[in-house]
Amino acid sequence: MKDEPAGPHCAINAGDGALIQLGHGGGGSLMRDLIGKIIAPAMDQASLDIESDGAAVSLGGPAAFTTDSYVVSPLFFPGGDIGSLAVNGTVNDLAMCAAEPSYLSVSFIIEEGLSIETLKRVAQSIGAAAKTAGARIATGDTKVVERGKGDGLYINTAGVGSVKAPFAPGPSRLRPGDAIILSGDIGRHGVAVMASRAELDFTPPIRSDCAPLWDQVRALIDAGVELHCLRDLTRGGLAAALVEIAQSAGCEIAVDEPEIAVSEQISSACELLGLDPIHVANEGRFIAVVPAEHADLAVATLGSASAGQARRIGETTPAHQGGRALIRSAYGVKRQIRTPKGEQLPRIC
């Protein structure tokens, strides 16, 4: 194989129509140019050291570590894109550990033929979302796969952060009689992506709730709310979060359907799409399980930090039967929440 001289002709053409080639993932000058001239500037992370494979991080005290890969389709949807989703999703996983998002990694798996303009838009979105969330992109990686071996772009992010609560929240801390607080209305992300995929035009357009949650969690900690458990409502929606917590804790959870905020527009859209909002993915909502005596403080605190739709939706019950979640209708009928076996909405995140 022949060496090719480095030089100005190697520069990335990011103009209209420039496409990713397999060589952009090859560890050579094309890749260095792609990262150095397109991705890093677009993410606007001045301190990102693209010449090193690892980054120095410093964390005082207990820390949290998390990762998620993002395969959402389409890449852009009202209210967000795969880039903001990849940042907020991982930031929120840290927030659910009561951890301030400190450092993120970003790793791209790009399908040959993706337009460089698209990659740039996504990288800009990553940079903006990281800034909003107060997280630093510390390290990353880029791979390119052949046409037909991907779907444009997949992104993995991992994150590390410092735990700021007196103790790490988790299902094992649940006590009978704890209050379940839901931070806002549900269903926006899943419906926005589905509508975008099906090219349904709602007026006004339904936007994803994709947003970082650390500020809200931080506000709860600062207000002195004891956080027994936090869970963001992503794949599987509110239903999956409640069932998973009940199963992990071995307790019973009961929630009141009328207390669960669903906007009129989402409610109509779900009817149209044949979806139950409690199963639909969100990317900017969470539940907090707190001692009953802290419920009002939690709702009031979230009310000022979030969209004002935080509500106490239920409680953990003295466990007659552990490991299940119940929902009470407006007419007092109780039914057990069951999570679907598999995919309700594929590639929603």
**Of these, 39, 82, 97, 251, which contacts a copy of itself (CB under 8 A)?**
97
Q: What residues between 172 and 231 interact with a copy of itself by CB under 8 A?
A: none
Q: Of 74-82, 143-151, 174-182, 203-211, which segment contacts a copy of itself by CB under 8 A?
A: 143-151
Q: Is the Cβ of residue 261 or residue 337 nearer to a copy of itself in the bound state? A: 337
Torsion of CA 118, 121, 123, 126, to 10 degrees: -130
262 makes contact with a copy of itself (CB under 8 A): no
Q: What residues between 23 and 42 interact with a copy of itself by CB under 8 A?
A: 23-32
DSSP state of 80: E
- Residue 248 Cβ vs a copy of itself, minimum distance, rounded to whole Å: 4
Nearest to 324 by CA among 341, 336, 312, 340: 336
Residue 115 burial class via C-beta count within 10 angstroms: exposed 0-12, middle 13-18, buried 19 and up: middle
Q: Of 46-54, 124-132, 202-210, 291-299, which segment contacts a copy of itself by CB under 8 A?
A: 46-54
Q: Is the Cβ of residue 46 or residue 204 nearer to a copy of itself in the bound state? A: 46
Q: What's phi and psi for 310, nearest 5 deg? A: -65, 140
318 makes contact with a copy of itself (CB under 8 A): no
What pairing do the DSSP bridges indicate for beta strands 252-256 and 324-328? parallel
Q: Of 124-132, 194-202, 207-215, 340-348, which segment contacts a copy of itself by CB under 8 A?
A: 340-348
3 makes contact with a copy of itself (CB under 8 A): yes
Distance CA 219, CA 271 (A): 35
235 makes contact with a copy of itself (CB under 8 A): yes
- Residue 202 Cβ vs a copy of itself, minimum distance, rounded to whole Å: 20
- Residue 213 Cβ vs a copy of itself, minimum distance, rounded to whole Å: 12
User: Rg of the chain over CA atoms, in angstroms?
Assistant: 22
Tokens of 248: 């992990």
What is the maximum span of the chain, computed from C-alpha positions, in angstroms?
76
Q: Of 115-123, 157-165, 197-205, 290-298, which segment contacts a copy of itself by CB under 8 A?
A: 157-165
- Residue 336 Cβ vs a copy of itself, minimum distance, rounded to whole Å: 9
Residues 6+ apart with CB under 8 A from 188: 79, 206, 207, 208, 209, 263, 266, 282, 284
Q: What residues between 284 and 303 interact with a copy of itself by CB under 8 A?
A: none
257 makes contact with a copy of itself (CB under 8 A): no
- Residue 22 Cβ vs a copy of itself, minimum distance, rounded to whole Å: 5
Cα angle 101, 261, 263; round to 5: 100
Q: Is the Cβ of residue 156 or residue 306 nearer to a copy of itself in the bound state? A: 156
C-beta neighbour count of 27 within 10 angstroms: 10
Q: In this structure, are residues 157 and 67 in contact, taking their beta carbons and an 8 Å threshold?
A: yes
Residue 80 burial class via C-beta count within 10 angstroms: exposed 0-12, middle 13-18, buried 19 and up: buried
Q: Is the Cβ of residue 5 or residue 318 nearer to a copy of itself in the bound state? A: 5
**Of these, 8, 15, 46, 53, which contacts a copy of itself (CB under 8 A)?**
53
Q: Is the Cβ of residue 246 or residue 295 nearer to a copy of itself in the bound state? A: 246
